[in-house]
Structure 1
Amino acid sequence: MYAAVAAGGFRRYATYRTATAAGVFTNTVFGLILVYTYLALWDVRPHLGGYDRAQAVTYVWLGQAFLAALALGGGGAEDELMERIRTGDIAIDLYRPADLQLWWLCADVGRAMFQLIGRGVVPFVFGALCFPVALPADPLTWLAFAGTVLLAMLVGFGIRFLVALSAFWLMDGTGVVQMAWLAGFFCSGMLLPLNVFPGTLGEVVRALPWSSLLQAPADVLLGHADVPATYAFQGAWALALLAAGRLLQRAATRRVVVQGG
């Protein structure tokens, strides 16, 4: 059943072909802007954050490939879940003979897989063809990188599920969502690699769960990370966030009050 839910999430987003094409164009354009910004920065500070120019360019296009897949700018399952909580349709979800968290996790993984393939691959390939990039030749590195991407999806969902559940108490979670977006952009490394952040600030942001979304997979792909340690870090955050989501879900659904009655 849960495999069918994930497949349904994939097919659902695959139907929006025009939106996908627009997203590919937008990601490519913003990727170009970021690449030239990074190149200007790396001209002044070569090997900034331990990256050379080719690695910095690779980092940019990887971020554009992950932007929609990990819903760093919104568009994940949390938007629909929060709306269902607000309208009371969540009661239908709770009546299903399925686990609420696992149901939405599978749906979000299906969405993320489509966004990664449909909206992320083209900008990444474009960047690799038009700019010097640093891509590994070892297939094992690519395999290890794929594992970090899957763990990043779990961590990303864990964060956004907690955000969505806040609607049980707030009814309108727009403010929480916007705060989560800002934290996600800053702390995931989407604006700048976290390796660039100095001193205590760098240590703090690299220890937060958002670093599992982009910085950790990027460092594995670029050969700057210990793979077992990265897996342990991402896996620990995924388990902690999903467990927190389970506890918050239990507290929220102990007594559900639907607006209007």
Structure 2
Amino acid sequence: MYRTLFVLGFRRWSAYGAAALGATFTNCTFGLIRSAVMLAVVGTAGGTLAGYDRATTATYVWLGQALIGPVHVFAWSELAQRIRSGDIAVDLARPVDPTLAYLAADLGRAAFSVLPRGVPPLLAGALITGLALPHSPAPYALGALSLALATAVSFACRWLVNLSAFWLLDLRGPMTLYLVLSGVLCGLVVPVRWFPHWLAVVAAATPFPSLLQAPIDVLTGRAGLQTVLTQALWLVLLLVLGRAVFALGARKLVVQGG
């Protein structure tokens, strides 16, 4: 059943070819802007900043642009809309766990996004600035697992934010707060390694570095199995919390209609 939902998630997003091409262009454009800014910062710092030189900084930027699509560090409100409309009652009536069903579909979405939104930014980065990537296969194999975990952690975070719709009439406030916090603490703006110590401690206490900083570190060989295990731990904790909150919200849910 979950394999079917994974395939359906892949097919659903592959139907929008023009949107995928537009996202590819946007990713590459922002990659140019971000790489120019961050390389200027490294140059101002003397050529190296917190262990990043020009080559590794450019690699960080382009890998980040390649991963933000599959990981999906953007807004998502499908569950909240179903809660508000009452369609969530259909999900509750189905003989399948809602959390795992939505997760399987989201993993299918991520699998499709790797092609149009992941590969082109890496090619653009290789041609424009060059990429400093490992020459052994081990970081890529472990990095693929890290990327899958990052996608699942991202889903678990967005799932929890959407569950607030059981108690709130409008999701825009929680979603905006989530996007601001996750965008900064996941390493999308600048690498977490560039943070001042106090902010790095705050980031480490959240699951957000597991969304982007962790898979980039694993793919570039800066981190290994311990980082992947940390991602797995966050995933388990968030899914357990999500199931508990979902059960609590479902007990108070009242759906009007025939």
Which TM-score band applies after superposition, normalised by the shorter structure? over 0.9
The TM-score, its normalising length taken from structure 2, stands at 0.96
C-alpha distance in 1 between matches for 2:184 and 2:198: 15
1:243 corresponds to? 240
Q: Secondary structure at the match of 2:50?
A: helix
| Aligned counterparts, 1:1-261, within 5 A | 1-45=1-45, 46-74=47-75, 78-225=76-223, 227-258=224-255
1:223 Cα deviation (Å)?
2.1
Runs of 4+ aligned structure 1 residues displaced above 4 Å come to: none
C-alpha distance in 2 between matches for 1:10 and 1:84: 21
1:206 Cα deviation (Å)?
3.0
1:260 Cα deviation (Å)?
6.5
On the 8 A contact 2:166/2:249 being kept in 1, the answer is yes
Counterpart code for 1:133: L
C-alpha distance in 2 between matches for 1:169 and 1:116: 35
1:15 Cα deviation (Å)?
0.6
C-alpha distance in 2 between matches for 1:6 and 1:166: 25
C-alpha distance in 1 between matches for 2:180 and 2:134: 31
Q: Secondary structure at the match of 2:252?
A: coil
Count residues in correspondence.
257
Counterpart code for 1:35: S
On the 8 A contact 1:49/1:193 being kept in 2, the answer is no
1:259 Cα deviation (Å)?
5.4
Report the identity percentage.
44
RMSD: 1.3
On the 8 A contact 2:207/2:234 being kept in 1, the answer is yes
C-alpha distance in 1 between matches for 2:198 and 2:128: 36
Counterpart code for 1:240: L
Counterpart code for 2:248: A
On the 8 A contact 2:186/2:211 being kept in 1, the answer is yes
Check 1:79–1:122 CA distance in 2 against 1; reply closer, same or farther (3 A cut): same
Q: Secondary structure at the match of 1:170?
A: coil
Check 1:118–1:134 CA distance in 2 against 1; reply closer, same or farther (3 A cut): same
C-alpha distance in 1 between matches for 2:43 and 2:257: 60
1:147 Cα deviation (Å)?
1.1
Counterpart code for 1:5: L
C-alpha distance in 2 between matches for 1:32 and 1:100: 39
C-alpha distance in 1 between matches for 2:57 and 2:247: 43
Q: Secondary structure at the match of 1:4?
A: helix
Unmatched 5+ stretches in structure 2: none
Q: Deviations over 1:235-254 (max 9, x none)?
A: 11110000000100111112
Counterpart code for 1:119: R
The TM-score, its normalising length taken from structure 1, stands at 0.95
C-alpha distance in 1 between matches for 2:205 and 2:129: 31
